[in-house]
């Protein structure tokens, strides 16, 4: 591809990589930036981008005092939605997207760590691909969060769980997912070998996540490829 605007990937921890998102983008160029602790990061304008992907991380999405770069991320996300630029927010990225659209963050309101189902409650080209059909159903995915967000005004709720009402939503060109459909076996193995990720988990909990990953991740490969392929299709359409 030539003269294609890149996708900007905002990363918050070295181990929070793209996983299954990367092959879906294929030949679409992307640039990875980490601006967490930069009080005045120089981010590109949305007119220079074909899409924005915001990954997870251990920090609170509203901790601008501790991580001033989060304010610039939120401003970029708001501008991207206004400009109809495709946006994908995962976990922390989902929370940052919600905050950028005026919703509230609730700290320590919904601890979920491990594989468990989410209920799909509305059809969507991205999230709906995780449970193909009529926009209803469930998918077993990896959860790793304790904060939750309210649904932004005007957004469509796409998925919920018993613990976390807003597991996924769409707002125009943007979709946020609180869970981790990007996980493949290699990325999960990296997480389980990263001390910051498993701090607070005992050996049995880590073993259970590893065992559940071996059982559930293969079945998610096709649906996740379709979901991220739909996002990549929106990116390519913008060009």
Q: Tell me which residues are annotated as active site.
A: 91, 180, 182
Cβ-contact 231, 51 below 8 angstroms:
yes
The C-alpha atoms of residue 165 and residue 8 are separated, in whole angstroms, by: 28
Quote the Cα angle for 225-206-199, to 5°. Answer: 105
Sheet strand arrangement including 137-145? 30-33, 7-10, 51-54, 87-90, 174-177, 168-171, 156-160, 112-120, 137-145
Rama region for 79: left / alpha / beta (φ>0; ψ in -120 to 50; rest): alpha
The structure tokens 């905002």 sit at: 10
Cβ-contact 110, 163 below 8 angstroms:
yes
Helix (H) or strand (E) holding 31: strand 30-33
């Amino acid at each position: 591809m030539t003269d294609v605007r890149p996708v900007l990937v905002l990363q918050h921890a070295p181990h929070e990589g793209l996983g299954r998102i990367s092959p879906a983008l294929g030949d679409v160029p992307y640039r990875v930036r980490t601006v967490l602790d930069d009080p005045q990061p120089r981010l590109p304008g949305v007119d220079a981008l074909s899409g924005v992907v915001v990954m997870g991380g251990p920090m609170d999405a509203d901790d601008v005092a501790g991580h001033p770069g989060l304010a610039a991320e939120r401003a970029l996300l708001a501008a991207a939605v206004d400009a109809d630029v495709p946006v994908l927010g995962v976990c922390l990225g989902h929370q940052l997207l919600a905050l950028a659209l005026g919703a509230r963050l609730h700290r320590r309101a919904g601890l979920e760590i491990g594989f468990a189902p989410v209920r799909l409650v509305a059809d969507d080209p991205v999230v709906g691909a995780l449970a193909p059909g009529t926009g209803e159903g469930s998918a077993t995915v990896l959860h790793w969060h304790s904060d939750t967000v309210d649904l932004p005004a005007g957004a469509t709720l796409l998925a919920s769980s018993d613990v976390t009402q807003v597991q996924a939503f769409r707002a125009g060109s943007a979709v946020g997912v609180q869970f981790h459909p990007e996980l493949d076996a290699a990325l999960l193995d990296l997480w389980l070998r990263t001390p910051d990720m498993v701090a607070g988990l005992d050996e049995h909990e880590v073993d259970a996540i590893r065992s559940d990953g071996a059982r559930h991740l293969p079945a998610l490969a096709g649906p996740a490829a379709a979901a991220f392929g739909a996002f990549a299709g929106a990116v390519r359409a913008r060009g």
